[in-house]
């Protein structure tokens, strides 16, 4: 999972606003980040770590131009070095830079095709470089005579080539030197991509595209909907907007965005993330009352902070006091997206400190957004018991995560997923809780889709039900991806 943003303005340089946008998207990736603008030439800055540590006054001053893209990285494949940071660029044709959020299922096959058939060098292990070269090669080698085609028609032909060759999730923002900005989203719309507009005093309009809406208010942009699945948008430097939907498939956005990744103040696919999480907690509490009508906890506490919203509505539905019984150190990153299980385990106790007066001698019910690997959950239960809880109940706003994700979430191997080979009772014993309860899949879908003009056909829930919407993931694919990920991790040790 990554965060991507692009801004095209008719009036002012965009680097400062790209920086602010990446700060708002920091939760989506903490390993690396980059920005690229152009003003007669490309200007770029990339680095590893947090946004605040990568960009300073000196390198920000070099990022000139009214068109630019930014990216904050959390790798699901590839390494953790600065060479893997986005955006990436190619000089031919025109000069094109791109960044994206997503993951390609057929990445390895495409690398061979691009190298051998298109004769273009892939210089990193990031998916967007493959997409970039497919797009650039198609733009440079059109299938039809371009004499009577507009540049937007040429772009559409190139994006259509990407759609036919690339399988997986990809929300892409690109810039073409002296032309403008190109944006497109995979035909299933798996990864989010929203758009916003800002009216200037002279009547012109600035445009922003991003993984989330979190920076819109601060920068003065108004939400203008989403980039549709299979849609390509081209904005010329003078502000002229072109758009076309090239391919229609089932609209299946990732449900885990609502469960965990997106910030609660974000609007995704016309759905409030905050409201969907309230409904998750509400549905979960109703299920608790059905299954355990005679068991009422003394206190409900969230595993901070993504679960705060669901825990609040859960407590309200049960009529039980809500308390922030675990204090979260705000200077520790999100453990789920940290590289390596040992680092995740160590960081839990650094990040979370139980509040004894809220816990001792009480029946404590912990609400978490999800249980993926189980490390964080197990440590939380252990800490709460150490601080004197008489009973510990644990509920997850997400159903059991049983399958790897091949669309951009770091769930790469079944061996890491605690629910892949364990029953609920076995996980209950592993975590050391008195009761463990998961959300039902139908209840989760209802919570996400209950409100909003979202047009979602069905959410992508491959990690929960094993139904991979691109239709090309089988046992062989899983094994190959697992071997690849384990190999990459072994090189990083």
- The residue whose two tokens read 């630019």 is 68
**Going by DSSP bridges, is the β-strand pair 363-368/391-396 parallel, antiparallel, or unpaired?**
parallel
- What is the spatial distance between Cα 241 and Cα 233, in angstroms, rounded to a whole number? 7
Closest CA to 354 of 309, 429, 304, 296: 304
Q: How far apart are CA 448 and CA 253, in angstroms?
A: 11
Tokens of 8: 């095209």
2 is catalytic: yes
Q: How far apart are CA 247 and CA 231, in angstroms?
A: 7
Give which of 463, 371, 445 is closest to 409, Cα–Cα: 463
The full DSSP string for 53-67 is HH--HHHHHH--SSE
Catalytic residue among 2, 405, 460, 463, which?
A: 2
The residue with tokens 């998207």 is: 25
Helix spans in 63-168 (H)? 107-116, 127-140, 151-165
Other Cβ atoms closer than 10 A to 41:
10
H or E element in which residue 354 lies: strand 352-354
CA-closest candidate to residue 55, choices 37, 79, 78: 37
Q: Can the peptide bond before residue 305 be classed as cis, meaning omega within 30 degrees of 0?
A: yes
Question: How far does CA 213 lie from the centroid of its chain?
Answer: 13
145 φψ region: left (φ > 0), alpha (ψ -120 to 50), beta (else)? beta
Cis omega before residue 93 (within 30°)?
yes
CB-based contact 369:260 (threshold 8 Å): yes
Question: CB-based burial of residue 126 (10 Å sphere; 0-12 exposed, 13-18 middle, 19+ buried)?
Answer: buried
Q: How many C-beta atoms surround the C-beta of residue 236 within 10 A? A: 15
The dihedral sign for the CA sequence 94, 100, 106, 109: positive
Q: Residues 359, 321: contact at Cβ < 8 Å?
A: no
Local structure of 472: helix, strand or coil: coil
CA dihedral 301, 305, 308, 310 (to 10 degrees): -110
The string of DSSP letters for 194-211 reads EEEEEE-TTS-EEEEEES
At CA 435, angle to CA 429 and CA 441, rounded to 5?
100
C-alpha 393/C-alpha 301 separation (Å) is: 10
Q: Give the residue numbers marked as catalytic.
A: 2
């Amino acid at each position: 999972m990554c965060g991507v943003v692009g801004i095209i303005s008719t009036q002012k340089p965009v680097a400062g606003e790209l920086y602010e946008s990446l700060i708002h998207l920091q939760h989506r990736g903490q390993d690396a980040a980059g920005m690229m603008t152009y003003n007669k030439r490309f200007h770029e800055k990339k680095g590893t770590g947090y946004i605040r540590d990568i960009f300073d006054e000196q390198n920000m001053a070099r990022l000139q131009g009214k068109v630019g893209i930014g990216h904050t990285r959390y790798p699901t494949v590839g390494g953790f070095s600065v060479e893997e940071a986005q955006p990436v660029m190619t000089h031919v044709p025109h000069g094109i830079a791109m960044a994206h959020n997503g993951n390609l299922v057929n990445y390895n096959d495409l690398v061979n095709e691009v190298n051998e058939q298109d004769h273009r060098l892939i210089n990193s292990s990031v998916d967007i470089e493959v997409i970039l070269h497919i797009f650039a090669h198609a733009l440079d080698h059109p299938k039809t005579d371009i004499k009577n085609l507009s540049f937007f028609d040429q772009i559409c032909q190139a994006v259509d080539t990407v759609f036919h060759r690339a399988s997986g999730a990809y929300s892409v923002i690109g810039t073409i030197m002296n032309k403008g900005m190109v944006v497109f989203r995979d035909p299933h719309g798996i990864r989010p991509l929203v758009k916003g507009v800002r009216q200037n005093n002279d009547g012109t309009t600035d445009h922003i595209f991003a993984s989330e809406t979190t920076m819109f208010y601060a920068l003065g942009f108004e939400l203008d909907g989403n980039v549709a699945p299979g849609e390509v948008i081209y904005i010329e430097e003078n502000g002229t907007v072109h758009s076309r939907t090239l391919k229609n498939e089932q609209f299946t956005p990732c449900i885990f965005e609502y469960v965990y990744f997106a910030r609660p103040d974000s609007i995704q696919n016309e759905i409030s993330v905050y409201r969907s999480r309230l409904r998750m907690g509400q549905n979960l509490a109703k299920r608790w009352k059905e299954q355990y009508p005679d068991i009422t906890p003394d206190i409900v506490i969230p595993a901070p902070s993504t679960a705060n919203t669901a825990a609040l509505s859960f407590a309200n539905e049960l009529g039980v006091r809500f308390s922030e019984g675990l204090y979260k150190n705000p200077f520790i990153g999100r453990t789920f997206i940290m590289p390596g299980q040992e680092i995740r385990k160590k960081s839990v106790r650094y990040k979370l400190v139980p509040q004894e007066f809220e816990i001792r001698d009480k029946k404590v019910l912990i609400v978490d957004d999800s249980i993926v690997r189980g490390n964080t959950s197990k440590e939380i239960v252990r800490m709460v018991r150490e601080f004197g809880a008489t009973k510990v109940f644990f509920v997850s706003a997400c159903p059991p995560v049983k399958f790897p994700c091949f669309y951009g979430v770091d769930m790469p191997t079944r061996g890491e997923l605690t629910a892949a080979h364990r029953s609920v009772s076995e996980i209950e014993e592993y975590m050391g809780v008195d009761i463990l309860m998961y959300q039902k899949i139908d209840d989760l879908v209802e919570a996400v889709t209950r409100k909003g003009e979202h047009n979602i056909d069905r959410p992508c829930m491959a990690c929960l039900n094993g139904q991979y919407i691109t239709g090309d993931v089988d046992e062989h694919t899983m094994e190959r991806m697992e071997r690849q990920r384990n190999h990459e991790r072994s090189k990083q040790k």
